[in-house]
Amino acid sequence: MSISRRRILKSTGGGLAGILATGVAPYHFVRNIAKAAEGDTIKVGILHSLSGTIAIIESSLHNAELLAIEEINAKGGVLGKKIQPVVEDPQSMVQVFAEKAKRLLLEEKVVAVLGCYTSASRQSVLPVFEENNGVLLYPTLYEAQECSKNCFYTGAVPNQQLDDFVPWIINTLGRKKFYLIGANYIYPKETNREVKALLQKHGGTTVAEEYSPLGSTEFATNINKIASSGCDIVFSDLVGDQIVAFYKQFKEFGITAKDIPICTPITTEQEIAAMGAENAIGHYTSFNYFQSVDTPQNKSFVERYKAKYGKDAVTNAVMEAAYFQTYFLAQAIAKVKSTDADALIFDGLPGQEFLAPQGKVKIDEKNHHTWLWARIGKANEQGQFDVVWKSEDWIRPQPWVPYLYPNKTCDFTDKRVLDRVKKPWSAEKNRSGTIDL
């Protein structure tokens, strides 16, 4: 009789001794667990840019994950072992992400990787994780339309950011004429496609849409166009160093937030600290978390972060996700008492909960994305955000935007999906957790 590794885990409670005692576990499964049990540490990869154009924000994700690892180790680690971070710097270059991911999985043999920021970098590494059955935890908001067995997405998807933000801009700010500007890669383009669909639904219009090469920081021509376009709001998907340059040049041109506010799902406290609060005052961001969130967990988190990285350090939404996803991983390993990839993918990580600085969060059991809160913040003189709107409850993630893809869903508990993910498949094809209804 053949027994799946999922069934073995359930029948033995996930313990190493129980799995070995059955005598029927697949050889490579026993080998992986035994290997993980041999060392004194549990190796976890950290894959964020510490140099290059995206380092301005990715370095904060790196810092948050190290803080979480330090806290977990101070409490005794996991399974009696300390977590050992293995750090790689992909230098903000998409092709380097894939090289470093392969090194972490095949040479360093980490149990999982906490990594990436842009969608371009995530998509470059997914084939590596899928072909080698590795585990990636990805902390950034993204455009959705994706579902991978090997990736757990802890940042926001559009229904947790845009679905409330766009109608709020129209109905509360009274701004309906959108000028869309973004970096020239998949996330801004897909996000703006979702924004345009929401504008059509809620009575707004698109005045113009344009993209600048990733890393470019000269926006004089763009701002001239904005000033003469007749728009009453700029929706920005610029990233990294672009954000700092754009806001500074926007203010230098003489346009204030009262004239044309910049609304964005990307700009955080990190970029405001780099540009200076005077360049961001009055502009808006939609995120799950802000440093100003008034919860006991957040106040403690901010204190600990500043104690480690300096009193001038600021926290932000993507690094908060990087922080709590590290706890998700530690809790998952403790739950299944294993570092085997399939044990973590099918039994350890799905359903994990954590009382994060933003509030309670959870990995959805079906789609590998995360239940999060939604907030809208207005930048103030201190370089922080005043929360001007928040959701009444946490929001279930929808990896496929229903108003663009009404017949798609993502469900790794569906038997059709489980049968499919056991077979070899390519990251270039449809994600294995996607079902056409």
pLDDT: is 50 or 420 the higher one? 50
Judged against a pLDDT cut of 60, whether residue 169 lies above it is answered with yes
Q: How far is CA 355 from CA 71, 105, 226, 256, 322, in A?
A: 15, 29, 42, 38, 14
- Tell me the C-alpha distance between 363 and 190, whole Å: 23
3-state secondary structure of 298: helix
- Tell me the C-alpha distance between 289 and 385, whole Å: 10
Classify domain 159-287 at the CATH class level: alpha beta
- pLDDT class for 194, splitting at 50, 70, 90? very high
Classify domain 5-156+295-373+403-436 at the CATH class level: alpha beta
- CB of 321 within 8 A of CB of 380? no
* Extended beta strands in 121-176, E state: 136-138, 151-153
Q: Does the global pTM surpass 0.75? A: yes
pLDDT at position 64: 98
At which residue do the structure tokens 């510490």 appear? 50
**179-190 tens-digit pLDDT:** 999 999 999 999
- Tell me the C-alpha distance between 352 and 341, whole Å: 16
Residues of the chain with CATH 3.40.50.2300: 5-156+295-373+403-436, 159-287
**86-128 tens-digit pLDDT:** 999 999 999 999 999 999 999 999 999 999 999 999 999 999 9
